[in-house]
Chains A and B, each alone.
Chain A
Amino acid sequence: MSSFLSNIFKRRSSAPVARDRLQILLAHERISVGDGKDDLLAQLHREIMEVIKRHVAVDQDKVQIKLDRGAQYSTLEIDVEVPGLTDGKPAAPAKPAPDKAKTKPA
């Protein structure tokens, strides 16, 4: 009761945020943790890297991977710096645009 007034003026309650976060997280974890298999995103990530490595020597330090697991969709960004394709010709972009793979959750 004592916090009644201050609550009116404070932010919205935090429990719904907690519930939403857990739902998204657990939906992803239940797929991967249970049987030790990778989820779709991890699988995509691995296979995309395999394909790239088949064509160019990839320096681990030049690979950035970003992931955002969402409710509606997830984003997997693989940013690979590919060296020396130009043979001395000027100004090919050092960094190609990030390779984005969007997936709906299974």
Chain B
Amino acid sequence: MSKVLVVTSGKGGVGKTTTTAALGAALAKGGQSVVLVDFDVGLRNLDLVMGAERRVVFDLINVIQGDANLAQALIKDKRVDNLSLLPASQTRDKDALTSEGVAKVIDELRKKFDWVICDSPAGIERGAQMAMYHADVAVIVTNPEVSSVRDSDRIIGMLDSTTAKAKKGEKLEKHLLITRYDPQRAAKGDMLGTDDVLDILSIPLLGIIPESGDVLRASNVGAPVTIAEPDSAPARAYTDAARRLNGEKLEVTIPTERKGLFDWLFKRRVA
């Protein structure tokens, strides 16, 4: 059974693209076939985060307009089998993203892949609507910070009203993923805690990704953090989140950096 998953947030810069790459790679490493679809027309970045920016020939809009077929536009990942990317167009107009065109491409992708992961652009405009429209599952990426939580609430409202599932009266599976979480700041009471965010948004928690330099390093070198630094704290958190997406029941913990003796002696341990 193929599933269409949208990674969305409303607010920009919270980690949608990082999450799309990391979850997608984790699912593919688990043996399922995965395609990542960038919906950010005009400002694509998933290709860069995946390290495929030099290899883009065709994009989503080329496929929609019939200039290329899907097989030609898909970029296979060189590190992980079963992982492909469909880039967004960098030059075309957003209006080229027609709902019939998107529906056709998503249908075709469903036949080829276990997971079709749609990386939504920020905002609530056409691109974001198109990215979420066909979703069976939504991952709402939220930072523990007031504006991000507010925008997530707005997006949850849209998921419940404007998607194909919602229009058919069916339930869309929604998961909250908290990213850039700093346990030390939360402990000091200076950051919204996980419970606060969960209380306010009241959707199930998929995982908590700790703030980490490993995420930045991974994007620098053009690899999902689950490939570049698979043993790092954020990668372990993403890998667990991917397992939960597949229905595994795992207790949500916040992985911490595995520190050496040196660090342990000089730094207070993170709760």
Binding site for B on A (CB under 8 A): 1-3, 5-6, 14-15, 17-18, 21, 24-25, 29, 32-33, 36, 45, 60-61, 63-70
Contact = CB atoms under 8 A, between A and B. Distances in A.
B262 A2 contact: yes
Interface stretch (B48-56, B122-130, B240-248): B48-56
Given A2-B267, A36-B91, A69-B54, 20 more contacts: A2-B266, A3-B263, A5-B262, A6-B262, A6-B263, A14-B216, A14-B220, A18-B220, A25-B54, A32-B91, A33-B90, A60-B68, A60-B72, A65-B58, A65-B72, A66-B55, A67-B54, A67-B56, A67-B57, A69-B53
B260 interface: yes
Contacts of B56: 67
B32 interface: no
Contacts of A61: 69, 71
Interface of B: 48, 51, 53-58, 68-69, 71-72, 90-91, 216-217, 219-222, 259-260, 262-263, 266-267
A33 B91 contact: yes
B183 to A, nearest CB: 16
B23 to A, nearest CB: 21
11 contacts: A5-B260, A18-B220, A21-B48, A32-B91, A33-B90, A60-B72, A61-B69, A63-B72, A65-B58, A66-B57, A67-B55
Nearest to A21: B222
Contact of B90 (A21, A29, A70): A29
B263 A68 contact: no
A17 B263 contact: no
B215 to A, nearest CB: 11
B91 A64 contact: no
Nearest to A69: B54
B221 A17 contact: yes
A68 B54 contact: yes
Contacts of B220: 14-15, 17-18
Contact of B54 (A3, A24, A65): A24
